[in-house]
């Protein structure tokens, strides 16, 4: 399946698909600091870059879609800070970033590319730099399977290739990073929905906090992990 074709559509003609992402994106931007150089991998609608730039964060971006990068570069005047490229072959020098953000990206990658991507994230982060992100929580992939009416190929409507729970997410991150936190979180979008959906979202969040219900499709796994410092630096800090 051609992931590039899917995201060329959603990030350009189908950008309305990202309309419910504001709560999640705003939460992620709040994890960044004004004095940090941060990279966002997978730009989506460009909302994260917009909010981060408005808050004075030195935001950079990487995405394989040329049209999305051109629009982002023109709209926010980020120049060469936004680049066309893939997460497993990043065009940035080693140790260039204080933070890397990957929100709803890792689930789109097969195992080999996912492992190569996390190795690249580690490479471009400074020692002690943070990887911050989200993936869908406990997604039932089969429920979003569709079939092409022309070739009869079966595929996930969003191009998802992997399912994560807290244990598998932690195990994946621990290969390259020191894990600060991995937990499930419910992001409820308030501004773009009516009162009925707001109340439904609030009820789901309350049930979630009490450990009731199975709202996997509406929940995300939020994670923060750090690139380990060299042993010499660790000893010098003690």
| Domains, the chain | 3-237 (3.40.50.150)
**Region of residue 101 (left: phi > 0; alpha: psi -120 to 50; beta: else):** beta
What pLDDT is stored for residue 232 in this prediction?
Answer: 67
DSSP-derived letter for residue 95 is T
Q: How far is CA 184 from CA 11, 141, 162, 170, in A?
A: 26, 18, 17, 12
Q: Is the pLDDT of residue 140 over 90?
A: no
Give how far Cα 171 sits from Cα of 92, 121, 124, 137, 196, Å.
Answer: 26, 16, 21, 15, 38
Number of H helices, E strands in the chain: 8, 9
Q: Give the C-alpha separation, 73 to 77, whole Å.
A: 5
> 130: closest CA among 38, 34, 226?
226
Query: Could you tell me which residue, 203 or 133, shows the higher pLDDT?
Result: 133
pLDDT value of residue 87: 97
Mean pLDDT across the chain = 83
**Would you say 124 and 89 are in contact if contact means Cβ atoms under 8 Å apart?**
no
User: Token pair for residue 228?
Assistant: 């380990």
Whole-structure pTM value: 0.81
Per residue in 72-130, pLDDT (tens digit) is 999 999 999 999 999 999 999 999 999 999 999 999 999 999 999 999 999 999 999 99
pLDDT for 218 beyond 90: no
């Amino acid at each position: 399946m051609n992931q590039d074709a899917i995201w060329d559509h959603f990030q350009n003609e189908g950008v309305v698909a990202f309309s419910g992402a504001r709560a999640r994106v705003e939460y992620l931007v709040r994890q960044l600091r004004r004095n940090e150089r941060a990279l966002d991998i997978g730009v989506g609608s460009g909302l994260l870059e917009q909010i981060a730039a408005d808050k004075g964060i030195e935001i950079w971006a990487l995405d394989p879609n040329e049209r999305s990068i051109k629009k982002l570069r023109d709209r926010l005047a980020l120049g060469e800070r936004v680049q066309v490229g893939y997460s497993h072959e990043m065009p940035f020098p080693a140790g260039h970033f204080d933070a890397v953000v990957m929100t709803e990206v890792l689930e789109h990658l097969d195992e080999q590319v996912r492992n190569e991507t996390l190795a690249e994230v580690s490479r471009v982060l400074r020692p002690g730099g943070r990887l911050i992100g989200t993936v869908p929580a406990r997604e039932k992939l089969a429920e979003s399977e569709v079939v092409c009416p022309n070739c009869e190929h079966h595929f996930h409507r969003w191009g998802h290739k992997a399912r994560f729970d807290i244990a598998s997410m932690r195990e994946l991150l621990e290969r390259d990073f020191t894990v600060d936190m991995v937990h499930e979180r419910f992001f409820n979008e308030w501004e773009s929905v009516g009162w009925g959906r707001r109340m439904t979202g609030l009820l789901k969040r309350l049930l979630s906090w009490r450990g009731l219900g199975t709202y996997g499709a509406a929940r995300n796994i939020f994670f923060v992990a750090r690139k380990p410092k060299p042993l010499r630096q660790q000893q010098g800090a003690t």
